[in-house]
Chain A
Amino acid sequence: MEFLRPRTWNEAVAVKAAHPEALALAGGTDVMVELNFDRTRPASLLDLTGVDDLAHWALDGDVLRLGAGVTYSRVVDELGFALPGLATASRTVGSPQIRNRGTIAGNLGSASPAGDAHPALLAAGAEVEVESVRGVRHVPVAEFFAGPKRHVLEPDELIKAILVRPASGPQEFAKIGTRNAMVIAVCSFGLALHPHARRVGTGIGSAAATPRRALDAERFVSEELDWQGRGPLPDGVARRFGELVAHAAEPIDDGRGTARYRVHALAVMARRTLGWAWAAYRKG
């Protein structure tokens, strides 16, 4: 196995073009497990940890750029106000050691339906900046996933950054696990209020072949909410929202939970997170 370790981003993009089969490696919290179990044996590994400008985030105009090397821990520690949904989701990833190494971009690269960052990124309306020697393009996270553990990147492309607007309203993330920490999601839900656009964003995790938005639920609740008057959230609206989120899921039965439970839990989480977010919005 060839081990490629570029020192600059341009070099990384060139190396990826020359070695399209190379598997990108950042924190290694997914990739190294796969290698150790001999489930993957890529011809080469492209280690991005030597590219130092990747591990930074910065506000670029009105958009936050999260470099591909930004870890869960840094999101928890530094972006709790700007990206509260993603920070809450990051806090549920693995153990502190895993959060210190694992990256948001790596979560996207693995493209697991159970990836914890995905529902928060979907709800926030994030985009993935990908680059190859052919140029740069921006892929909305909602269009990023192609199937279980598959995404839409071309073989010569690398994730360079995640672009997301800082929260303009409350955000929530909730995840079901059968223990209280260090657990892979049985199912999860991300929610973001976008008051300027009078829109609610959603993201469902671990309840379909890919992470996905609940579009009907978003449309329904965005129209029902009293954005202007910040009036109370009618219980019926919250419940209907939960039902519509649940309907957007297509879960399966597996060792971590049943499809029926996942549907039920998504409805409850959607109803509750909407309640929390709306209560926060009403407080201003």
Chain B
Amino acid sequence: MPAPSTSPAPPAAGTSTRVTGGVGESARRPDGALKVTGEFAYSSDLWADDMLWGATLRSPHPHARLTGLDIGPAVAMPGVYAVLTHDDVPGRTVYGLERADQPVLCDGIARYHGEPVAIVAADHPETARRAASRIVAEYDVLEPLTDPRRAIDPASAPRVHPTGNVVRHLAVRKGDFETGLDVAAEVTVTGEYEVGMQDQAFLGPESGLAVPAEDGGVDLFVATQWLHVDRDQVAACLGMPPERVRLTLGGVGGAFGAREDLSMQIHACMLALHTGRPVKMVYSREESFFGHVHRHPAVLRYEHGASRDGLLRYVKAEIVLDGGAYMSSTPAVVANAATLGVGPYDVPHVSVDCWGVYTNNPPCGAMRGFGAVQAAFGYESQMDRMAAELGLDPVEFRIRNAMSEGSTMPTGQAVDSPAPVAELLKRVSSVPLPPRERGDDGYDLRELPGGVSNTTHGEGVVRGVGYGVGIKNVCFSEGFDDYSTARVRLETVDGRPVASVHTAAAEVGQGLVTLLVQIARTELGIDEVTILPADTEVGSAGSTSASRQSYVTGGAVRAACEAIRERVPDPASLPDGEVVEETVEWRHRPTSPLNEHGQGNAHVQYAFAAHRAVVDVDTELGLVKVVELATAQDVGKAMNPDAVVGQINGGSAQGLGLALMEEVQVSGGRIGNPSFTDYLIPTILDMPPTRVDILELADPEAPYGLRGVGEPPAISSTPAIVAAVRAATGAALTRIPIRPEHILDLSGVSEGERT
């Protein structure tokens, strides 16, 4: 992989050249070697000598009335210490990120396949699982609501919740649409698209250890994305003041949004408090597919209007997002899909309606790039079709309509920092195309569609090139009080200045702990910086999501260091034995809610990435090999260039998965493939070499000028790959993930069917 190129950026305030491993360097991760050698302790490795193991009984039905629950056979088993149900929830019986609508344990109606019904603690995990299976649960099976398009009708039945099935409908109107006029254009293109249910597929399943404390409270060690919001929900459901529930971050094996909602947290605490023993819960891979939210499946209808000379005039869109049985973060997903629904383009007239609905499908919530990912597949597919309709090159058409600094979003918000959409597109499109590599025999199976499965030696293989560009909001939006807390302590030990940084920010694998060290080194001018374990003994850091932690917790650590420097202008000269400590709560600029036309300065920052995908498609078998992904992304400031490249490669891979293989298959409300045998994620033979081009155009509002990095590459790689497959095959491909059957036209008599 070529080294990322960087553009010059203005020097950040407070940077110092005295330290090594400061901001802008590829400092090494403290957890890197441990993870590579398998020694890193994940939350599933947590252990207490006298601990019990928890297990969960789940509903086998997507919609059913629980008519009977006999825990007797489970309680009677030797080694079983507790069997708890809905009636045993000590406090509030429901929880949720935006609205508490999800029962801790089934409240009489099971609303999705996998809903927790009862929990068990036993002295061995297998005993706990067997005891759970001996609980006799009787159900009156009800008709499930599984079509999200039906659910947007306020009168749709059955009602998944008494409030009706529409969680949120957001209308965004800009230009003539805002004043109620209709808009026409010389050329129009209409399309309907569908996005399947993607899973975050983190490798470390839900797990944690709850330890009852002497004060009657509980200490919970857990892999999560936001310790404080977990704590508040757990405390409410345990009927305890928040200070009696103390959380410490366990080793997190990936998150991608799936750990924003609670999974085993309340259950483990209930069992620990009930038994007076530490209780560990670890989901199996299969259970994990039922134990966390997924990416919202979407149905998107788009109408694009443009002038003959290739300027977008209007976009109309209707987007339906299937939120499944509970709310989770559906309202925020709706906001993103609606406000970012036309993509990074200047569009004078916009009308977007987006619905997030309840159904009896598995609950959906946060996943990397949420809302923006679904919309991007729709609007980028449309951009390619419109370009074709106009006879324009797809890159040229995008560049003509690319938004830039000073553009106005469909929400009326002015974009007040660099938005180099055209530049990103120019960069990816000017990268030389990869050669067609051939081995000694004329081919190398590993380079061909199908890989070593030996389905082609080049026959039927057609190359295609496609482009995608996306936009994502960074940080929390719509007036949310989004802040982070950092406590920095400076002292001199044996003549050497050392600093410790304490935040509650969740390191989920992205490298935040490395970044916070770099910031403290740079700001304090000292080399030795320790990151303390993340826990609730310090104030909230907010969520590790929305590409926000470098921005917000990074900003908080910088601010705390600045506060120390005000007291000790030269931190390296602090006398031995003296201690200086500062705790700072840091906020980004405020945002505002959206009005009834979806207007308002709802977002903090926008981030952009563009992809070019080169694919080889076996046009007779419908198999795809992505040959290369070229990415250009503006990161404002590459705080840690290696980590930035890692995020871009990882996001690109996740987008590749959505384009070509990743789907939780749901039929009649039931998950059909809850395993890594049948839920496929890309392997090393699927993920191609990448070319990563990093721009650093500072955002004057952001710490160091940085721009959130994690999500944009997961947005644009998907439409780029689909476009490349379309270019190779001519297939319409209106649904992702693409399956071989979509590439081939098997509607007529195909090969093998002749007699």
- Tell me the A residues contacting B by CB distance below 8 Å: 37-38, 88, 91-92, 172-184, 186, 239, 242-243, 245-247, 255-258, 260-261, 263-269, 271-272, 276
* CA of A255 to CA of B678, assembled, Å: 8
B740 to A180, Cβ gap below 8 A? Answer: no
| Complex interface: chain A residues within 8 A of B530 (CB) | none
Q: Beyond A260-B750, A266-B752, is A37–B286 a contact (Cβ under 8 Å)?
A: yes
B623 to A263, Cβ gap below 8 A? Answer: no
| Nearest CB on A from B384, distance (A) | 24
Q: Beyond A257-B741, A261-B622, A265-B621, is A180–B750 a contact (Cβ under 8 Å)?
A: no
| Nearest CB on A from B741, distance (A) | 5
When C-beta atoms are compared, the residue in chain A nearest to B454 turns out to be: A174
| Complex interface: chain A residues within 8 A of B591 (CB) | none
When C-beta atoms are compared, the residue in chain B nearest to A188 turns out to be: B453
Complex interface bits, B618-632 against A, C-beta within 8 A gives 1, otherwise 0: 001111010000000
B744 to A181, Cβ gap below 8 A? Answer: no
B740 to A178, Cβ gap below 8 A? Answer: yes
A181 to B454, Cβ gap below 8 A? Answer: no
Q: Beyond A176-B623, A258-B741, is A242–B661 a contact (Cβ under 8 Å)?
A: no
A91 to B755, Cβ gap below 8 A? Answer: no
* CA of A105 to CA of B442, assembled, Å: 34
A257 to B740, Cβ gap below 8 A? Answer: yes
* CA of A264 to CA of B621, assembled, Å: 8
| Complex interface: chain B residues within 8 A of A271 (CB) | 751
Q: Mind listing 25 A-B residue pairs with CB under 8 Å?
A: A88-B454, A92-B453, A172-B454, A174-B453, A174-B454, A175-B454, A176-B455, A176-B740, A177-B450, A178-B661, A179-B451, A180-B451, A180-B686, A181-B451, A245-B752, A246-B752, A247-B752, A255-B678, A256-B678, A260-B753, A263-B750, A264-B751, A264-B752, A265-B621, A267-B753
Whether B683 sits at the interface, judged by CB under 8 Å, is yes
B660 to A261, Cβ gap below 8 A? Answer: no
| Complex interface: chain A residues within 8 A of B682 (CB) | 179
Whether B732 sits at the interface, judged by CB under 8 Å, is no
| Complex interface: chain A residues within 8 A of B740 (CB) | 176, 178, 186, 257, 261, 265
Whether B665 sits at the interface, judged by CB under 8 Å, is yes
When C-beta atoms are compared, the residue in chain B nearest to A172 turns out to be: B454
| Complex interface: chain B residues within 8 A of A176 (CB) | 450, 453, 455, 621, 623, 740
| Nearest CB on B from A122, distance (A) | 17
B625 to A180, Cβ gap below 8 A? Answer: yes
B755 to A272, Cβ gap below 8 A? Answer: no
| Complex interface: chain B residues within 8 A of A177 (CB) | 450, 453
| Nearest CB on B from A182, distance (A) | 5
| Nearest CB on A from B677, distance (A) | 6
- Tell me the B residues contacting A by CB distance below 8 Å: 129, 286, 446, 449-457, 459-460, 620-623, 625, 660-661, 665, 672-673, 677-678, 680, 682-686, 739-741, 744, 746, 750-755
B751 to A267, Cβ gap below 8 A? Answer: yes
| Nearest CB on B from A174, distance (A) | 5
Q: Which of A173, A256, A272 has the most CB of B within 10 A?
A: A272
When C-beta atoms are compared, the residue in chain A nearest to B750 turns out to be: A264
* CA of A186 to CA of B746, assembled, Å: 16
A180 to B683, Cβ gap below 8 A? Answer: yes
* CA of A175 to CA of B623, assembled, Å: 11
* CA of A186 to CA of B740, assembled, Å: 11
In the complex, the 4 A-B pairs of residues with the closest C-beta atoms, listed nearest first: A267-B752, A246-B752, A180-B451, A180-B685
| Nearest CB on A from B747, distance (A) | 9
* CA of A265 to CA of B752, assembled, Å: 8
| Nearest CB on B from A256, distance (A) | 7
B622 to A246, Cβ gap below 8 A? Answer: no
B678 to A246, Cβ gap below 8 A? Answer: no
Partner of B752, one of A175, A178, A180, A243: A243
| Complex interface: chain A residues within 8 A of B661 (CB) | 178-179
* CA of A164 to CA of B454, assembled, Å: 22
A243 to B457, Cβ gap below 8 A? Answer: no
* CA of A37 to CA of B676, assembled, Å: 14
* CA of A184 to CA of B746, assembled, Å: 22
| Complex interface: chain A residues within 8 A of B446 (CB) | 180
Q: Beyond A258-B741, A265-B740, is A179–B680 a contact (Cβ under 8 Å)?
A: yes
| Complex interface: chain B residues within 8 A of A239 (CB) | 751
Q: Beyond A180-B450, A181-B684, A243-B754, is A276–B457 a contact (Cβ under 8 Å)?
A: yes
Given contact pairs A180-B450, A261-B740, A264-B753, enumerate 18 new A-B contacts (beta carbons under 8 Å). A92-B454, A173-B454, A174-B455, A176-B455, A176-B740, A177-B450, A177-B453, A178-B740, A179-B685, A180-B446, A180-B683, A183-B453, A247-B752, A264-B744, A264-B746, A264-B751, A269-B455, A269-B621
When C-beta atoms are compared, the residue in chain B nearest to A178 turns out to be: B661
Partner of B665, one of A179, A180, A255, A267: A255
B672 to A242, Cβ gap below 8 A? Answer: no
When C-beta atoms are compared, the residue in chain B nearest to A275 turns out to be: B459
* CA of A283 to CA of B450, assembled, Å: 26
| Nearest CB on B from A219, distance (A) | 16
Q: Beyond A92-B453, A243-B752, A243-B754, is A178–B741 a contact (Cβ under 8 Å)?
A: no
When C-beta atoms are compared, the residue in chain B nearest to A177 turns out to be: B453
Q: Beyond A176-B450, A178-B740, A261-B746, is A183–B680 a contact (Cβ under 8 Å)?
A: yes
B751 to A178, Cβ gap below 8 A? Answer: no
Q: Beyond A174-B453, A272-B459, is A261–B751 a contact (Cβ under 8 Å)?
A: no
Q: Which of B446, B452, B684 has the most CB of A within 10 A?
A: B452
* CA of A182 to CA of B678, assembled, Å: 10
| Complex interface: chain A residues within 8 A of B460 (CB) | 268
* CA of A247 to CA of B754, assembled, Å: 9
| Nearest CB on A from B58, distance (A) | 15
Q: Beyond A174-B454, A184-B677, A260-B741, is A268–B752 a contact (Cβ under 8 Å)?
A: yes
| Complex interface: chain A residues within 8 A of B456 (CB) | 272
When C-beta atoms are compared, the residue in chain B nearest to A265 turns out to be: B621
| Nearest CB on A from B480, distance (A) | 38
* CA of A37 to CA of B680, assembled, Å: 19
When C-beta atoms are compared, the residue in chain B nearest to A36 turns out to be: B284
Partner of A268, one of B685, B739, B751: B751
Q: Beyond A243-B751, A258-B741, is A268–B621 a contact (Cβ under 8 Å)?
A: yes
B455 to A272, Cβ gap below 8 A? Answer: yes
A182 to B683, Cβ gap below 8 A? Answer: yes
| Complex interface: chain A residues within 8 A of B750 (CB) | 260, 263-264, 267
* CA of A264 to CA of B744, assembled, Å: 10
* CA of A246 to CA of B660, assembled, Å: 26
A261 to B451, Cβ gap below 8 A? Answer: no
* CA of A122 to CA of B740, assembled, Å: 27
* CA of A256 to CA of B449, assembled, Å: 17
| Complex interface: chain A residues within 8 A of B673 (CB) | 255
* CA of A269 to CA of B457, assembled, Å: 11
Q: Beyond A88-B454, A255-B665, A255-B672, is A242–B623 a contact (Cβ under 8 Å)?
A: no
| Complex interface: chain A residues within 8 A of B684 (CB) | 181
| Complex interface: chain B residues within 8 A of A243 (CB) | 751-755
* CA of A227 to CA of B404, assembled, Å: 68
* CA of A177 to CA of B452, assembled, Å: 10
| Nearest CB on B from A14, distance (A) | 31
When C-beta atoms are compared, the residue in chain B nearest to A38 turns out to be: B129
| Nearest CB on B from A196, distance (A) | 25
| Complex interface: chain A residues within 8 A of B459 (CB) | 272
Q: Beyond A176-B623, A176-B740, A268-B621, is A242–B751 a contact (Cβ under 8 Å)?
A: yes
| Nearest CB on A from B742, distance (A) | 10
When C-beta atoms are compared, the residue in chain A nearest to B741 turns out to be: A261
B680 to A178, Cβ gap below 8 A? Answer: yes
Partner of B683, one of A92, A179, A246, A260: A179
| Complex interface: chain A residues within 8 A of B753 (CB) | 243, 246, 260, 263-264, 267
* CA of A243 to CA of B754, assembled, Å: 7
| Nearest CB on B from A102, distance (A) | 14
* CA of A258 to CA of B739, assembled, Å: 10
| Nearest CB on B from A236, distance (A) | 11
